[in-house]
Structure 1
Amino acid sequence: MSGMGMFDPKKRRIFTAVIVAILVLALVVPTILSLIVW
């Protein structure tokens, strides 16, 4: 299994964007839910 695929800039950018999106959702969703509940 070649390691070159992991360091492909385009793939890494997409991978980073997915992680950032998940982190943002993890932070934002509880806030929105708490606003809806209250």
Structure 2
Amino acid sequence: MFLKSFLVMKDGVLMIIHIYAKVSVSKKGWNNTLLTN
């Protein structure tokens, strides 16, 4: 039960990070993204 909710939460966090990264790329451009990675 706990493990299942943890996995769902992890997926949600990853999705948020992915969306945030996309927005950052759109605003700043590719150069800054490559530098931070």
RMSD, matched Cα: 1.1
Consecutive unaligned residues in structure 1, runs of 5 or more = 1-8
* Cα distance in 2 between the residues matched to 1:33 and 1:14: 28
Query: Scaled by the length of structure 1, what TM-score is found?
Result: 0.57
Q: Which residue of 1 aligns with 2:6?
A: 14
Q: Which residue of 1 aligns with 2:33?
A: none
Query: Scaled by the length of structure 2, what TM-score is found?
Result: 0.57
* Cα distance in 1 between the residues matched to 2:5 and 2:14: 14
* Cα distance in 2 between the residues matched to 1:10 and 1:20: 15
Instruction: Give the fraction of aligned pairs with identical amino acids, expressed as a percent.
Output: 3
Structure 1 segments (4+ residues) deviating >3 Å: none
* Cα distance in 2 between the residues matched to 1:35 and 1:13: 33
